[in-house]
Amino acid sequence: MVARKVLTGARVVLPTGVVEGGRVTVDGRTIATDESGSAPATVVLPGDHWIVPGFVDIHVHGGGGATFSAGTAERALEVIGTHRRHGTTTLLASTVTGDLDDLAHQASALSELVEQGDLAGLHFEGPFLARNRCGAHEPSLLRDPDPSDVRKLVDAARGTARMMTLAPELPGGLDSVRLLADHGVIAAVGHTDGSYDVTRQAIEAGATVATHLFNAMPPLAHRAPGPVAALLEDERITIELINDGVHLHPAVLELAFHRAGAGRVALITDAMGAAGKGDGRYPLGGLDVEVKDGVARLVEGGSIAGSTLTLDSAFRRAVTLDRVPVEQVVEAISATPARLLGAYDRIGSLEPGKDADLVVLDRDFAPVGVMRKGEWVLSPELV
């Protein structure tokens, strides 16, 4: 049985605000009500440290030199371990465009990790994407979202498919959005060349997420507002943002937070294999990617190919460079994605009865402790 633990002395970010010199009590795998007295394991933290909920990443392809597209549990666990050490205690495994049979095989293999609790579900990004907005997805493998093909991937995931990104303007797009919604799978609008009106139709059909808003879609224009305006303005849409300083200008991040609010923003990584690893050449869904100075680009064509981001870096950048209040960053990096997944009763905030998923950050917002379900992934006592 996991020992009772008490963390005390640091600033604790709760749904009600920041508590100076706060206290978090962990009993087994869950957060307990605060009680006075000693405990078997007490960690006294500096007052300039922070205790925040574990991060929730709904869009990640790889890390630590591995990718989920490898379709093996061993490689997937390398990805998971890398992101956990950087504070992400819950994540979806995102695939990359591929042959339908290959994607079905990947889904079947990854579903086992969902069933044993290592993953929160699967996210299919592709192959139902617009050719003009494909980014780092292999153009020859793109296809229209025929509902029967969409259903094939959902079925292959054996109940673990949580999200699928598609371009709703393609033939079958709106019907596929309806199919996903009917099966309890989040329909996300992304890698799209669709208009404002088509995007509105997709939302009415059941789409609830904007995949990395602003990226891989037409830009906002005053006579052709496109998908950006439709997705920003609708309260039913959760918008993904990649805050690595490459995908978005700080002014655009500020615009999104101001218009949508932290309750509709989900900070993501869209990380590929180089996250937590370093510069070099990496595969991504059959394409070659060169990472230089932390920026990933396709060897052929030079398109941005995901990110090398981890969510602790996204958190630190949002607070220190973008000047987003800590409470709003916590909501966007933990609570909002947890609500989207229907898991806010278990994760996303530091409240009694929830999973003991938390991150200890130092005064510079670097992680010095990560706990998942009451067990240390990275212990502050060892730093």
Which residues are the active-site residues?
270
Residue with tokens 């919604």: 181
Provide, for the chain, the percentages of residues in helix, strand and coil under a 3-state DSSP scheme, each rounded to the nearest 5: 30, 25, 45
Would strands 265-268 and 238-242 be described as parallel, antiparallel, or unpaired?
parallel
Give residue 233's region: left, alpha or beta (phi > 0; psi -120 to 50).
alpha
CA neighbor of 13 nearest in space, from 329, 258, 264: 329
CA neighbor of 48 nearest in space, from 23, 24, 20, 17: 20
C-alpha angle 55/58/64, rounded to 5°? 75
Calpha distance 40→255 (Å, rounded):
47
CA neighbor of 156 nearest in space, from 214, 106, 97: 106
Based on the number of CB atoms within 10 Å of its own CB, is 184 exposed (0-12), middle (13-18) or buried (19 or more)?
exposed
Would strands 238-242 and 209-210 be described as parallel, antiparallel, or unpaired?
parallel
